[in-house]
Amino acid sequence: MGECAAARENVNPILPTGVREIIFPGALHQPIEDIMAEFQKLVFSGVQPTGNLHLGNYLGAIRKFVALQKDNDCIYCVVDEHALTAQLVHEDLRGQTRAIAAAYIASGIDPKKHIVFNQSRVMQHAELTWIFNCVARMGWLNRMTQFKEKAGKDRENASVGLFTYPDLMAADILVYRATHVPVGDDQKQHLELTRDIAQKFNNDFSKRIAELGVGVEMAVGEEKVNGYFPLTEPLIEGEATRVMSLRDGSKKMSKSDPSDLSRINLTDDADAIARKIKKAKTDPEPLPSELTGLKDRPEAQNLVGIYAALADTTKEKVIAEFGSRQFSVFKPALADLAVEKLAPIAAEMRRLMADPAHIDAVLRDGGERAGMLAEATMKTVRRIVGLLDD
């Protein structure tokens, strides 16, 4: 911790050699200059601390976060400021924030080698959001389907924060100039917007970026632009990029669904998991003998996808094993698999949650390291835009 504070005093647009090792100890050991001078591979993602984490969050996102740590430097954030956009007053936002951090660690994320922190500790996210509010166009945000869904019919009454939410999400990613973002399918449109924002910023400030010598030459169609922000790649892969509700195969599994039977929570015990899978909606037919037979059978498709993701295999292989079998055979096998994979995570989450001071220390340490990277970016952004800060 002392080392971090010492390093922070040295922060300038290009962090001094050696700081990278403090920020990602034991990871790739690349000098920090590389991250700032080139678009070096860096993974970022986040989860909102609103409601119970469910199987969709786990399979669509957190499990991928764990896998990506092996070959990349990763920053995983609990996006507590996002939680204020749809609902301002929360019963226990701090507890929920700790619960997501606990879920990250319990699932296998190593907060020492990588970074785990809560968004509000690094104020540069909010600062860059302001700049992006001035980059993004009203028309772009008006097209966001998640805003339309969340605001519903009463748009006049939605918070301004809910409307500009995607700008904060773009800032989360780009304040680290992150190149890869693992998410579920529902975040795709927000990541396209992140690219649009990066591209407009790069285009509008290309000359200034070149003058300051802080950019990377990028081709935009026929033209060459000096870009400061990377065009981030979404990582949306695998068999469970969109896990559906257990009660309705046309609706996504979600934290806000009023029916608890619609989702498997990461903290559900073995009985609850088995009961929910047993009660999951299905059609009366047995599973098809070929993958193509899942078409137009959304509930069956969903359960097969969940099985495939949990077993780290493909839907095709699941159908090869369970094809033509009744749900009365498949559902207990799925329940056993889900309990086998999720019960150890729930137990570890409970253990971690019993020591909130430890979780807070992890988040504080992660916040310090993230803050060094974010401030280095913001110093450069302030210069690019023309804001005096020294």
Q: Which of 60, 111, 249, 288 binds ligand TYM (CB under 6 A)?
A: 60
Of the candidates 41, 150, 188, 379, the residue annotated as catalytic is: 150
* Using rule CB under 6 A, residue 365 touches ligand TYM: no
CA-to-CA separations, 148 to 152, 203, 204, 373, in angstroms, rounded: 6, 29, 29, 34
Of the candidate spans 2-10, 177-185, 338-346, 367-375, the one that interacts with ligand TYM by CB under 6 A turns out to be 177-185
Residue with tokens 């046309």: 250
CB of 240 to ligand TYM, least distance (A): 6
Residue ranges in 81-120 that form contacts with ligand TYM under rule CB under 6 A: 82
User: What residue is closest to ligand TYM based on CB?
Assistant: 60
Q: Is 3 helix (H, G, I), strand (E, B) or coil?
A: helix
Q: Which two tokens stand for residue 32?
A: 């920090």
Q: Which is nearer to ligand TYM, 183 or 303 (CB)?
A: 183
Binding-site member from 42, 106, 136, 183 for ligand TYM (CB under 6 A): 183
- Token pair listed for 25: 């100890």
> Which whole-number Å values give the CA distances from 192 to 165, 167, 224, 237, 274, in the listed order?
14, 11, 21, 16, 38
Tell me, letter by letter, the H, E, C secondary structure of 237-262. Answer: CCCCCCCECCCCCCCECCCCCCCHHH
The reply on whether position 45 binds ligand TYM by CB under 6 A is: yes
Q: Is 172 in the site for ligand TYM (CB under 6 A)?
A: yes
Q: How far is the CB of 323 from ligand TYM (least distance, A)?
A: 24
Torsion sign across C-alpha atoms 121, 123, 128, 131:
positive
List helix spans (H) across 113-159.
124-135, 138-142, 145-151
Judged by CB under 6 A, does residue 214 bind ligand TYM?
no
Nearer to ligand TYM, 180 or 383 (CB): 180
Q: How far is CA 364 from the centre of its chain?
A: 19
Q: What is the spatial distance between Cα 125 and Cα 173, in angstroms, rounded to a whole number?
A: 9
Number of residues that bind ligand TYM (CB under 6 A): 24
Enter the DSSP assignment of 27.
S
Q: Which of 7, 20, 32, 48 binds ligand TYM (CB under 6 A)?
A: 48
Nearer to ligand TYM, 15 or 103 (CB): 103
**DSSP code string of 284-339:** SSPPPSSGGGGTT-HHHHHHHHHHHHHTTS-HHHHHHHHTT--HHHHHHHHHHHHH
Question: Of 55-63, 313-321, 346-354, 360-368, which part binds ligand TYM (CB under 6 A)?
Answer: 55-63
- In whole angstroms, how close is the CB of 17 to ligand TYM at the nearest point? 29
User: Are the C-beta atoms of 327 and 304 separated by less than 8 Å?
Assistant: no
Beta strand pairing status for 43-47 and 223-227? Answer: unpaired
> Contact between 243 and ligand TYM (CB under 6 A)?
yes
Nearer to ligand TYM, 44 or 201 (CB): 44
Residue 255 falls in the annotated catalytic set: yes
In the bound complex, what is the minimum distance in angstroms from residue 232's beta carbon to ligand TYM?
A: 9
Q: How far apart are CA 263 and CA 281, in angstroms?
A: 12
Q: Retrieve residue 64's tokens.
A: 């991928």
Q: In the window 248-267, what residues touch ligand TYM (CB under 6 A)?
A: 252-253
Contacts of 378 (CB under 8 A, 6+ apart): 124, 127, 128, 175
Q: Binding residue for ligand TYM (CB under 6 A) from 11, 79, 280, 310?
A: 79
Contact between 181 and 237 (Cβ < 8 Å)? no
Site string for ligand TYM, 7-36 (x = CB under 6 A): ------------------------------
Cβ-contact 133, 167 below 8 angstroms: yes
- Crossing angle of helices 315-322 and 327-353, in 10° steps, is 130
Q: Would residue 150 show up in a list of annotated catalytic residues for this protein?
A: yes
Pick 164 or 206: Cβ nearer ligand TYM: 164
Please compute, for residue 139, the number of CA atoms within 13 A of its CA located in the half-sphere on the CB side. Answer: 1
Q: Which stretch binds ligand TYM (CB under 6 A): 57-65, 284-292, 323-331, 346-354?
A: 57-65
Among the listed residues 113, 188, 200, 255, the single catalytic one is 255
With contacts defined by CB under 6 A, name the span among 4-12, 133-141, 181-189, 314-322 that binds ligand TYM: 181-189
Instruction: Please give the residue ranges that form the binding site for ligand TYM (CB under 6 A).
Output: 44-48, 56-57, 60-61, 79, 82, 169, 172-173, 181, 183-184, 186-187, 241-243, 252-253
- What amino acid positions are annotated as catalytic residues? 150, 252, 255
